[in-house]
Structure formats: C-alpha cells, structure tokens
Structure 1
Amino acid sequence: MKETSDIEQRLDRVESRFAMHDLVSDYCHGFDKRDWERFCAIWWPDAIWDIGPPFGTFEGTDGIAHVTKDVLWGAWLASSHFTTNLVVSFEGDDRATGLCDVDCIGTTSDGQAQTVSATYFDTFERRDGVWKIAHRKVKMHHFNPLPGVTLSPPA
C-alpha cells in the first residue's frame, strides 16, 4: 500500500508543479494582454502583492485590482514579461514556495522604452483543490529606460 501512496504523492507533486507554472505564466499573459479575468484568477482573494519601491504593497483582490487597473496599466502602453528559472519547494501538501526571475520590456505611457529585471518570490497555497498565489514579493534589480529605442510593431 505504501507504494501506491508514494506514487499518488509523486503524481500530485508533478500536477501541482504544472499548476504553479501555469499561475506564473498566467500572470504574464494576463498582465501583458490586459486580461483582468485571467490575471485576477491567479490570486487568492486575501493575497498580498508586494511590488516594493516605487509602487508598494497591495492586499486582496481590491488592492490588486486598484494597482493593476488604475496604476500599472495606465503607466504602461505595452509590456512583455518573460519569466524563467521557476524553482518550486513544497512546504506541505497544500503549500509551496516559488522563485523565478523575470525580464520585462515595454513602453511607458510617455513613450519611453523601458527594461525591468526582477525576481519573484511566491507563496502558493492549495485551497479546496485549487492552487493560487497567496503572496508575491518582487525584488527589482533594475528599472531602466532604453534611450533612443522606440518599440513598435513591424511595418
């Protein structure tokens, strides 16, 4: 019977890792494509998004909605996030931490091309069988303009 339990736990960990990978990817797709439903679906209603300077910390769906819709989407005309190196560590059957790097390139509302590099520190929780982000801390490494660069679609 122990073997079946081990296999079930291993399968659950594999499925859980894929679910967490999807959350990290849906963050990027939801934010960049201005898809609020997709973006909102990754967070627990009591989640904390600690973006850090210069933006701050935002709590719950209302706080995350405010900073996303009223601040960040207004500040960025376009953005493309690329996450990589996701490492997941389980702290139990229903809780895990994640660490990944992100590079973002985009154009701010003033037309300035920008590049951002950061690390995301996530706490994932499974509630009623569903994995979502309970806490995301962002550590910015740089947030720099790209002078003389204009990002535009190909002609």
Structure 2
Amino acid sequence: MSTVDRLQSIEEIRALIATYAISFDDHDWERFGSLWTEDAAFVVDGEAFEPREAMLEFLTTCLPDDYAGKHMNSPPLIELSPDGESASADTDVVWIPQNFENAIVARYHDTLVRRDGRWLFARREETPLQYKPGPPPMSVTAVGVSGATMRTGGD
C-alpha cells in the first residue's frame, strides 16, 4: 500500500466516523444506514445488536424524532491492515442532548472494512465511562492549577 493510498484510506475513515455522528444527530437514517455492512454489529455494555437491520432498529429508535443531540468526537486513532482492506479505529465521544447536560462519555472501537471501494462499519463497540457524582478527587496541586477553570457542585 503506497503512502498516498494509506493517507487516502485514513481520510476516508475519518469522514466515515464524522458521517456517523452527523447523520445520527440529523436523524438522516437513510444515510446512516448506508454506513454499515449487512452483517454489522453495534455493541454497547456487552449487548450486541446485529445484523444491520436489528442494529438500525435499535439506533434509530433511541430517541423520539423531535429530540436532538450532538456527538462531539475526538480525532480517531486509525490502524490500517497491511493489505489496506480493513482497519480499526478508536474515537472518544461526548454526546450532549438538547438539555445541554453531558449524557454520554465513551470510547468507540470500530472494526472497518473496505467493500466495493468504500469504507464501512463492520462493528462498533461503545464503552461508556461510568458516571461518578461529585468533583474529581484531584490533588491539591491540580486543583490549584486547574480549579479556576472547573465548575463545582454549587455553580
């Protein structure tokens, strides 16, 4: 795989991951459904929704059509297979619903495949960060350095 082909694949995968977030947030279910292989799986908290039709049934009905939110994704860390026909990606995500309270902090681990010249999700595993109430148990030095930029329970 040439350097140019490798870079092109990485950029196409970045676009795929961004399209997931945008099409989900926009409730563009036709576009969203086109991002997955027929045998795709979405796995969250150990529960797998597969194949694609079962996965889409779950994901497209998570929220009512009149409720919105936004995915905020980190730049993905992408690893291509030596032959360039499959890849994995890890992306951190924060999902903020319409009430503007952070609702999901997680990492996506994706298994991706190239089919008919385009990249598709074969599997997406969501590993949520479990909620802990209260301020983070930071050291005195860390609070001194960062405390002014942090919201506390009374704010």
Which TM-score band applies after superposition, normalised by the shorter structure?
Answer: 0.7 to 0.9
Q: Does 2:55 correspond to 1:69?
A: no
Decide whether the 8 Å contact of 1:34 with 1:73 is kept in 2. Answer: no
Aligned to 2:30: 37
Q: Does 2:94 correspond to 1:103?
A: yes
Q: CA RMSD in A?
A: 2.4
Cα 1:76–1:84, aligned 2, differ >3 Å: closer, same or farther? farther
1:80 shift after superposition: 0.4
Aligned to 2:3: 10
TM-score normalised by L of structure 2 = 0.76
Q: Deviations over 1:13-34 (max 9, x none)?
A: 1111111001110111111100
1:75 shift after superposition: 9.0
Distance in 1 separating the partners of 2:74 and 2:10:
14
1:74 shift after superposition: 2.9
Letter in 2 for 1:64: M
Q: Which has the higher strand share?
A: 1
Query: Can you give the 5+ residue segments of structure 1 that lack an aligned partner in the other structure?
Result: 1-7, 146-155
Task: Give structure 1 regions of 4+ aligned residues with deviation exceeding 2 angstroms.
Answer: 73-76, 111-115, 142-145
Query: Can you give the 5+ residue segments of structure 2 that lack an aligned partner in the other structure?
Result: 134-155
Q: Percent identity?
A: 27
Aligned to 1:123: 111
Question: How many residue pairs end up in the alignment?
Answer: 132
Aligned to 2:49: 58
SS across alignment from 1:65 = helix
Cα 1:30–1:144, aligned 2, differ >3 Å: closer, same or farther? farther
Distance in 1 separating the partners of 2:100 and 2:20:
23
Letter in 2 for 1:66: E
Q: Which has the larger radius of gyration?
A: 2
TM-score normalised by L of structure 1 = 0.76
Aligned to 1:5: none
